[in-house]
């Protein structure tokens, strides 16, 4: 497997053998974790990744999907002799975390997932009508994905658009049974990107999962850090 260089911020804690890896969501970067890093850097060696296509990392290759992102993170850790980790992941980063904790020979001790994606969304009738209209127009050579695509899609370059289409169509619920680490879910009660039914599926799908719901939307764990920090820190260090 080929390793593609990735940018990450590293915070070394001499004498500590615990590694915490941070995986951000689509359209974000490692800086979203900065306040948490300040709270946790005395207890862990921290690796905060800029996932390919975001922050200071290069764009992924056009063939990338969620699994390839996970492979690259695994290869990075393996190349540095890191085989035991704690994970804190948001949204798209949660997809990667689920794969890392279920399909690889990586010893994930504990995992925090907030606004985690990867569960099949419930679609409205209007959605399916739009899909039919898109396919009808495409049949006649009308390239209209930009008209129907999400904001993430519209804001992406051509390579990232191709990758995003693959990512959003990869459902990971089938892997939840194979996640064996203690997992804390932190969710916003008004999250429209990954609604509460997704939270419930992950909570019931991972045997060792527990959940915390706070008032807020998709970035609730970051916009209301004062509500989450102690719960996350206590979970990672003591529970």
**Per-residue model confidence (pLDDT) at position 143:** 60
% residues pLDDT > 90 (the chain) = 80
Q: How many CB atoms lie within 10 A of CB 136?
A: 11
Which of 12-21, 25-34, 117-126, 201-210 is predicted least confidently? 117-126
Q: What one-character DSSP code corresponds to residue 214?
A: E
pLDDT score of 156: 86
Orientation of helix 92-103 relative to helix 66-79, angle to 10°: 60
pLDDT in tens, 32-80: 999 999 999 999 999 999 999 999 999 999 999 999 999 999 999 999 9
Q: Quick one: pLDDT at residue 121?
A: 87
Mean pLDDT, to the nearest integer, of 176-204? 97
Asked if the model's pLDDT at residue 125 lies above 60, the reply is no
Residue 19, beta-bridge partner list: 45
Q: pTM of the predicted model, to two decimals?
A: 0.90
* The pLDDT of residue 130 is above 70: no
Instruction: Tell me the percentage of the chain whose pLDDT exceeds 70.
Output: 88
**Bigger pLDDT: 139 or 11?**
11
Give the integer Cα–Cα distance in Å for 61 and 50.
15
Task: Reply yes or no on whether the pLDDT at 24 is more than 70.
Answer: yes
DSSP E strands, 32-73:
45-49
- Is the pLDDT assigned to residue 29 strictly greater than 90? yes
**Tokens in use for 137?**
């127009």
Q: What is the pLDDT at residue 10?
A: 95
pLDDT digits (tens, 9 = 90+) for 142-166: 665 555 567 787 788 999 999 999 9
List Cβ neighbours of 160 (8 Å cut-off, separation of 6 or more): 53, 59, 60
pLDDT score for 154: 78
CA distance 141 to 138: 5
């Amino acid at each position: 497997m080929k390793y593609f260089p990735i940018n990450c911020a590293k915070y070394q804690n001499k004498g500590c053998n615990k590694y915490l890896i941070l995986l951000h969501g689509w359209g974000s970067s490692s800086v979203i974790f900065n306040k948490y890093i300040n709270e946790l850097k005395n207890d862990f060696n921290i690796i905060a990744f800029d996932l390919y296509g975001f922050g200071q990392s290069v764009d992924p290759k056009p063939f990338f999907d969620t699994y390839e992102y996970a492979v690259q993170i695994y290869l990075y850790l393996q190349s540095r002799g890191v085989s035991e980790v704690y994970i804190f992941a948001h949204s798209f980063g949660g997809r990667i975390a689920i794969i890392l904790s279920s399909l690889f020979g990586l010893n994930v001790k504990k995992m925090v997932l907030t606004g985690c994606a990867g569960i099949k969304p419930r679609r409205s009738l209007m959605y399916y009508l739009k899909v039919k209209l898109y396919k009808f127009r495409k049949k006649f050579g009308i390239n209209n994905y930009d008209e129907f695509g999400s904001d993430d899609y519209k804001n992406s370059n051509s390579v990232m658009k191709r990758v995003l289409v693959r990512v959003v169509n990869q459902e990971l619920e089938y892997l939840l049974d194979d996640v064996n680490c203690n997992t804390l879910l932190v969710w916003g009660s008004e999250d429209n990107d990954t609604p509460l039914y997704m939270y419930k599926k992950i909570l019931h799908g991972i045997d060792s999962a527990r959940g915390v719901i706070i008032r807020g939307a998709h970035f609730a764990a970051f916009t209301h850090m004062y509500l989450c920090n102690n719960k996350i820190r206590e979970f990672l260090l003591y529970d």
